[in-house]
Each structure stands twice: as C-alpha cells, then as structure tokens.
Amino acid sequence: MTARRERLLYPLRVAFLLVAGSVLLYMFFTALPIAYSIYIAFTDATAKNIAPGPRLKELEETRRNITVILESSRDTIVEGAMRSKILIEETIQLLEELKASLGNATPQTLSLAFISRVRGDVDSRLLEVKHIVKDSMLSLDPRVRDPLDVAFRALDIRVWQPLDSILLYKIYVTEEDLVRVREEVVPSITYVEEQLAEVVKALQSIGEDYEGFIRSATRSLDAEIEELRLHFVGLDNFRRLFGDSRFPYSILKTVLFVTTSVPLKVAAGLVLALIFTSPLVYGRRLLRGLLLVPWALPVLLSVTTWRVMFTPERGQLWVTLREVFGVNIDIYVNEWHAFAVYNLVEMWLAYPFVMTVTIAAIAGIPREYIEAAVVDGARGLEVFRSIVLPLILRPVAFAAILTTGASLQAFMVPLLINNGGPAKSLSLPGFPPATGYSNEMMVLYGYNRAWLDQDYGLSASAFLVVVAILLVYAIAWYYLLYRRGWSSV
C-alpha cells in the first residue's frame, strides 16, 4: 500500500529525470570547469594558444595540401621569384644611387626632386614585389617574407620618415641637416639593402632548389601551427613554480600573513563584541550597526580608500602618523610597512564578521548563568573567563576558521594597496634567488602570472598548489573539530 502510494507521489521517471538533470548540472557547472582548470595547469597555455582563433583551422587546411599546391604551381612560383629578384636588385641599385647622392650633396646641390623620384621608383618596385610574393605564395617561405617585411618597415620608418622630417618642411637645407641625414638615414638605407639582399638570396635559392622552398614553407607552417596549439607539458609548470624563490616566498609570506592577521581580526571582533554588548554602553545598538559599515562597503572602494590614506607625504593617515608618532609608513618602498598596512586593512575588513558572530553567541548565554555566578561572588573578569568565554568559544573558533580561509586567499588587499610590492631580490634556503614582489601573496601571484605575463599554464599550476594548501587546511580543521572532539567544548 505505502509502496504504491510512494510510487504515485514520486514516480520513477521523475526521479530519473531529476537525477539525470542534477548530474548534468553538476558536470557542467562544477566538474567540467574544475577538470579544465586542472588540465590547464599541465599545459603550456598562453593568451595565444588557450583558445585558438579561426587562423588555426586555415593553417591546418593549408598544411594538409601544401605539397600538392606548391608542386602544381611550381612554374608560376619560380617565375614570380625570378621577377621579384630582378625588381629587388633594381631597388638595391636605386638605393645605392640615393646613398651616393646624399653622401656627396652640399646644401646647394641637394636635389629634393631626385630624392622624390628615387623614392617613387623604389616604392613602386617594392610594392610590385610585395604583390608577386603574396599572389604566388612565396610569402609562405619565411626566408623571403621576414626580411621583406623588415625591409618595408625600415624603409618607411627609418628612411622616408626621417628624410621627410629633416628635409620636407625646410625652405632651405643647411649643412647641419645634411649631417643628420648622413648620420641617421644613410646607415638605415644600408640596413634596408642588407635585408633586401637576404630576400634576393632566398629567391635565388628557390629557383635552384625548389624542394628546399617546399621544406622551408612547410617547416614555417608547422611552427606557426605548433604555436597555436596547446601542449601537454607534464610537471613542467610545477618545476618552474619551485625553480626559484618567488613562489615559495609567496607561500611563506601568505602563511605569515595568516598568523598575524587572524589573531588581529579575531581579537578586534571579540573586544568590540564584548564592549558593545555591555549594558553600560548607551546607544550600543546604533553603534553596533555603524560598526558593520566595513562589511557593507565594496572592498574595491574601501581598500582603495586605505591606500589613498597611506599615500606617502599626502595621505591623511600618513601625515597624522608622522606628526603624532614621527613614523614614516612607506607602502611602496618598505616590505614590512606594506605588510603591516595589509594586516590593518584586513583587520578592518573582517572584524564586523567576527563581531557579529560573537555578539550572537553572547546573546545566547542565559542571563541566569551570569547572575548565578555573580551571586556566588564571581567578579567581572572571572565571569568572563569561566562563564562567557567557554560558552562563546565554539562560535568564535568557527569564525576564526572561516576568516583564516580569507587570509589564506588574500588578494584584493595586496593587489589594491601596492600590487604585492615592493620588488626586491627574494631568496629562500634551497631555492635560487630571484627578483620578484615581496608581498605577492599566493592568489595574487597566480593572478599576476595570468594577467601580467599571460602565462596561463603557470598561473593554473600556482592556483592548483593554492587549492592543495587550502585542502590541507580544511582537512586539518575537520580532524581537529570532529575527530579530536573539539566540538564537545
């Protein structure tokens, strides 16, 4: 009877649907992203190959047919190569003439018309070369394409542009201008000629050794495809992470930050909670509300405000600290000053949480306990130590555990205060020294590797280490709380 009713209420197909749905959702929203980011930690991912664009497909397509294409249009290509070679040789000749003319000219004999004619001739020849090279697929060969590309750029920027700027807007040219031309422009012309000579050499070799051209084009395509592909690199990223002192230093610094910031946060929250639950404080409800403000403000805004207040020479707090205590806090220069400010800001951000938890716990203590203790003759401190403290210890410990997690993942505070600076030479025993940011906490380290260096593989592996550390931490607490019976405190 009951079984039938249950089947009626919870039909099997609905159950299956729900199970399948939740498994799918879990796979999509949880398992897949986690698996993917773990996978990235073992690859050479960069901005270029992590999500390759449409070009990869194009290249692979060309690569598949390259030999056939190049073999079938052999005649056109060789012809193009020879034609380009002649044009470039003419260009080099023209450039030689230009150099000679610039070298011999005096302000009286310098002919702008000659320069402009040579320029026109050079440009038209090279443009034709460019089109031949592209149309006849010679550009697949880096021995042709790369020096030609360099020559084009150098000619425009290092020859024509300075010539324009030195000579073009002058009413008359001085000896000084000519000296500048000889010093700046003539060597650049030589440079362009050298690049063009490289192209000539490559074009010549294509005529002589066509198979060599195919090989070179294929190799270059392969190299380009390889660059766009993601590669599995095994433990390489982890070897790099621990290959010098930076990441180990970052871990140590984070652990240090936990050991300093957590006691501060908990102490501040606890003290404030005790003060503002005391019936002796008038208007405590309102004050308690106001004390929650750090919690309500966006972290971005409040941490930036702290940074501004600590700006050397100008920040309000900086000035006050110097005037009252005579201390100079240099967050951009001094490793430990910055570290101290992180602690202060972290404390300010987190005390409302600890305070709220503690206030709730204090509110839960039956008044009778305290009254009974007082009747028995206990004094204030004794009441606190023997009655209040044991009763709030569990919630406070719980808050401490959670806020420790926050300190382990310190990110916004170091990022916004000074991006984990200042930089210096970091060294730890057992690791080679390296220059890096002295307060770059673990999470910030991972972030900077991704966003500054675009080294996604290294970044993912750093985060994997962070997750492992958090896991160890979580297991330790689980063990202490449940296995060692802390929960019965």
DSSP state of 43: B
Phi/psi at 54 (5° precision): -60, -20
| Token pair listed for 326 | 């005579």
Beta carbon of residue 408, minimum distance to another protein (angstroms, whole number):
25
- CB nearer to another protein: give 54 or 485: 54
Beta carbon of residue 18, minimum distance to another protein (angstroms, whole number):
30
DSSP string of 324-367? HH-----TTT-HHHHHHHHHHHHHHHHHHHHHHHHHHHHHTS-H
CA distance 446 to 461: 8
**Type and span of the H or E element at 436:** strand 434-437
Amino acid at 159: V
Instruction: Give the angle 480-483-486 at the CA atoms, nearest 5°.
Output: 55
Beta carbon of residue 88, minimum distance to another protein (angstroms, whole number):
14
Residue 24: CA atoms inside 13 Å, Cβ hemisphere, count? 6
Beta carbon of residue 243, minimum distance to another protein (angstroms, whole number):
10
| Token pair listed for 39 | 């996978």
- CB nearer to another protein: give 105 or 423: 423
Contact 53, 106 (CB under 8 A): no
Judged on CB neighbours under 10 Å (0-12, 13-18, 19+), 481 is: middle
Residues near another protein (CB under 8 A) are 44, 46-48, 51-56, 58, 127, 130-131, 133-134, 139, 145, 148-150, 152-154, 156-157, 160-161, 164-165, 169, 224, 227-228, 311-314, 330, 332-334, 421-425, 434-437, 452-455
| Token pair listed for 359 | 């206030």
